[in-house]
Amino acid sequence: MKTWDYATSGGGNTGKKETGCCNIDSFNDARAAAVEHGFPHYILDIRDEFGDFVVENFVEEYMAGRTPNPCVMCNTHIKWRALLKRADAMGCEFIATGHYAQIHQHTNGRYFLRKGIDETKDQSYVLWGLQQDLLSRTLLPLGTYHKTEIRQMAHDFGYPELAKKAESYEICFVPDNDYRGFLKRRVEGLEEKVDGGNFIDKSGKILGMHKGYPFYTIGQRKGLDIALGKPAFVTAIDPDTNTVVLGEEEDLKANEMKVGKINWIKYDGLPDGYEAFTKIRYKDKGAMANVYTTENGLNVRFYGDVKGIAPGQSAVFYEGDDVIGGGIIQRSELPFLSK
């Protein structure tokens, strides 16, 4: 799939060799394998849809003081539906992707995600937005293998260079991993619009000036360019006042959060107080919580404090290795036991 044109669309890699997932080397690797094994190779060009939805959402979320997850947005709204549309045109019943996760069918008839057996590479977290019509037609053949096994297979099948190919961790349309530079290129006059805001502490005391609220994320410690005589962390962001709140690491802790835009997977809903293992970011170890349904989504109460709940990130709920569902974090709350 061609999702992004780095050379002309502000990918942060202009004039250099493309390093994202849509680079020419990746296309050529896939094409060579297809030719060798006698099946056609196609490239789906979804740059317009990707730019209009995923990239614009990415920019809008940072401008709203939130921290987005573009992979979730792409999988949920763009990539899967584009693949299935093409599959329908070709008369194919299923699509297959290289994600490290599994799909199973429950006795209740619903399809659900399960963690890949290689927990170090598990990608079930970024797939929580897939609905039943998508899950029921998807195959994830890598979910029952470890990454080392897949690399060995590639080597054994005669693709030694693919077997050694480096992994990509950056945002696919920001291959230099400089999201701040990307925002500056996408939003005309951004630096002038947001420059001169204040760092404050939780009491409202002004600590100094910052470079603009979109350039900070919850939990950030490095790159603040302010000396307070002790470690400082971003604990809150207010886009309306261009204010960034700094505090101690302890101030990042909360044990309750609001979650919206819910997609249930294994069940079509949960009883109030349901116990679920909850992850608040991709590499999060997770924590147990009780989940309560509200008028606007979910209220999630953790058994203990968790650190760095960031609005805009995904909350994904697990029952053992099975994904129950997920949603978008709206905000964190002060410890409910002290209310």
Going by C-alpha positions, the residue among 127, 73, 69 that lies closest to residue 98 is 127
Going by C-alpha positions, the residue among 276, 254, 215 that lies closest to residue 338 is 254
Going by C-alpha positions, the residue among 226, 234, 227, 229 that lies closest to residue 251 is 234
Is 74 a catalytic site residue?
A: yes
Q: Is the dihedral of CA 214, 174, 6, 78 positive or negative?
A: negative
Q: Given the residues 22, 71, 92, 172, select the one marked as catalytic.
A: 172
- Torsion angles phi and psi, residue 5, rounded to 5: -105, 100
Contact, 106 vs 319, CB < 8 A? no
As beta bridge partners, residue 325 has 264, 317
Residue matched to tokens 């947005």: 73
What are the E-state strand segments in the chain?
A: 95-96, 101-105, 111-115, 138-139, 198-200, 206-209, 233-238, 243-247, 253-264, 274-279, 287-294, 297-307, 314-319, 322-333
Contact, 266 vs 106, CB < 8 A? yes
CA 50 to chain centroid, in Å, comes to: 15
Contact, 316 vs 128, CB < 8 A? yes
- Report the amino acid identity of residue 122: D
Contact, 242 vs 212, CB < 8 A? yes
Q: Given the residues 21, 22, 74, 92, select the one marked as catalytic.
A: 74
Query: Active-site positions?
Result: 74, 172
